[in-house]
Amino acid sequence: MRFRSTPPGGHGRRGARLAAAALLLLPLAGCGDSGGPAGDANTLTEIDYYDAAPQNSELPALLDQCGAQAGVRVQHQQVPRVQFMPKLLQQASARTLPDLALVDNPDLAQLAATGGLVSLSEAGLSTEGLYPSIVAAGRYEGQTYGIAPGVNGLALYYNQDLFRDAGLTPPKTWTELTSTAKALTKGNRYGIAFSAVGTEEGSFQFEPFFWTAGASLKRLDSPEAVRALTLWKDLVASGSASRSVVTWTQADINDQFLAGNAAMMVNGPWQLPTLNATKDLHFGIVPIPVPTPDAKPVTPLGGEVWTVGRSTPERERKAVAVLKCLLGQEKSAEWSAKAGYIPSNTAAARQLAASNPQLAPFVEEVATAQARTAELGTAYPKVSEALYNAIQASLAGGKSPQQALSAAQGSLG
C-alpha cells in the first residue's frame, strides 16, 4: 500500500474479523451498485480507494487509454479507504464485484478466498518479466488473482548536511545505525525517526528489521524477532529516537525530518515530491541497514494489485484485455513515474533506477522484498495486529521485547 497523509495499512486497515463484521452490517448490493455482471459489456466498471494526487487525476486517464485499446469504456469509481474492503466483500458475496479493482496487496488473499475473482493464471495473463516477489504478492492457493503495476517500499533517508558536518557516512549495519543515530542526537534533534504507531503502519515499518533479522510471522517471539524489537527498544530508550514514535505515522515522521528534528527516517518513495519541493533540504536515500554486512534487506511490498471480478465470459475477457494494457512495460513505467512506485516489470525498474538515483535504493530492495501475506495468507491481518500491539507494549508499555512478543504469540492461540 502507498501510505499518504493518512495511515497505511495505516490507512486504518482492519483485520479479517472487522471486515467480515462490516460485511454483515452492510445491505446487499443492488444491481446498480458498480457491480460487473449487469449492463453493457462494452462498458466496464473499475473501483479503487485513491483519494489524493497524482493517482486521482492520472488513473482515469490510463483507464481511458487502455479501455480504448481494448475497445471498451471504463467507468472509474473511487471509494474512501475505510469503506473499500467492506464494500468489496459485500459485492463478492452477491457476485456483483466490479470488472476491475485496485486492491491493497495484503487484502488480496481475503478477497480471493470469496471465490469472486477471476484466476488470471487461467485467463492466460502472463507474469513474464515481472519480479517474482511481486508476482507472489498476487497469488492465492497456487493461482494468480492479482498483479501489481508497481510497488513501493521503505528505505533510509538521511540529512546530508548533518552527516557532512559530523563527518559521518550513511549506516549499512544495525551497529552503524545505532552509533550514527546516537552521534546525531543533539538538543531537540533525534538521530532517527520511524513509525511505531499501533496500526498496520507500525507493522509495515517494523517488518524490514523483523524479516532481515531472519524472523518469521509464524513465530513472533523467536530470538530473531526479539533481536529486531530490541534494536527499536534500544534506540528509544537511549534517546536516539523519540518516545513519540508510538504515535507518529509516516506522514508525521516526514514532517519531523523536514523540520530538522530527525537526522534520519525510515520512509517510502511517496514522500519524495514533498521533500524535493523543500528548499535548502539536502537528503540522500540508502537501503535499510542490516544486522550483518553480508545480509540483504527484506522489506515488505507496499502497493496495490489489479484484480478482475467474476461476471460473464465476455466481460471477463475484455477486463483482462484492459489489464494486459495496464500491466505492460510502457503503462507500468508511466504509472510508476507518476505515482511514486517501482515498476513491477524488471526492465522498466532498471531503467527507472538509472534515470532517477533517488529511487535506485528502492529498486535494489525489490529483488529481496516479501509480500506481507506470503507466509500467512488470510491470517496476516490478525498476526499483524498482534505484532504492532507488541511493539506498542514494548516501546510505550514498559515490557521487554521478549515479554511483549511472547504475549503477542500467546494471543494467537
Summarize pLDDT for 125-182 with one digit per residue, the tens.
Answer: 989 989 888 898 899 999 999 999 889 999 999 999 999 999 999 999 999 999 999 9
Residue 292, all three cell numbers: 550483518
Residue 19 confidence (pLDDT): 38
Q: Is 386 helix (H, G, I), strand (E, B) or coil?
A: helix
Residue 23, all three cell numbers: 460485511
Residue 348 confidence (pLDDT): 86
Residue 330 confidence (pLDDT): 85
Cis amide prior to 54 (ω within 30 degrees): yes
Q: What are the chain's domains?
A: 9-152+301-366 (3.40.190.10), 155-299+376-411 (3.40.190.10)
Helix axes 401-411, 223-237, angle to 10 degrees: 130
User: What's the distance, CA 411 to chain centroid?
Assistant: 25
CA–CA separation, 334 and 172 (whole Å)? 32
H/E element, 40: none
Cβ contacts of 354 within 8 Å, gap of 6 or more = 360
pLDDT confidence tier of residue 13, bands split at 50, 70 and 90: very low
CA–CA separation, 120 and 13 (whole Å)? 26
The residue with greater pLDDT, 338 or 10, is 338
Residue 303 confidence (pLDDT): 86
Block residue for cell numbers 478466498: 113
C-beta separation of 11 from 81 below 8 A: yes
C-beta separation of 22 from 86 below 8 A: yes
CA–CA separation, 244 and 193 (whole Å)? 9
Neighbours of 236 (CB within 10 A): 21
CA–CA separation, 389 and 405 (whole Å)? 9
Longest Cα separation, the chain? 66
Strand partners, 309: 117
H/E element, 290: none
* Angle, alpha carbons 112-142-97 (nearest 5°): 20
The residue with greater pLDDT, 399 or 27, is 399
Neighbours of 110 (CB within 10 A): 24
Cβ contacts of 227 within 8 Å, gap of 6 or more = 213, 215, 291
pLDDT digits (tens, 9 = 90+) for 286-310: 999 999 999 999 999 988 999 999 9
pLDDT confidence tier of residue 183, bands split at 50, 70 and 90: very high
Q: Left, alpha or beta for 79 (phi > 0: left; psi -120 to 50: alpha)?
A: beta
pLDDT confidence tier of residue 337, bands split at 50, 70 and 90: confident
Block residue for cell numbers 519524495: 272
Percent of the chain with pLDDT over 70: 89
pLDDT confidence tier of residue 38, bands split at 50, 70 and 90: low
Q: DSSP string of 125-184?
A: ---TTB-HHHHHHTEETTEE--B-SEEB--EEEEEHHHHHHHT-----BHHHHHHHHHHH
User: What's the distance, CA 147 to chain centroid?
Assistant: 14
Q: Which of 293, 295, 330 is nearest to 176 (CA)?
A: 293
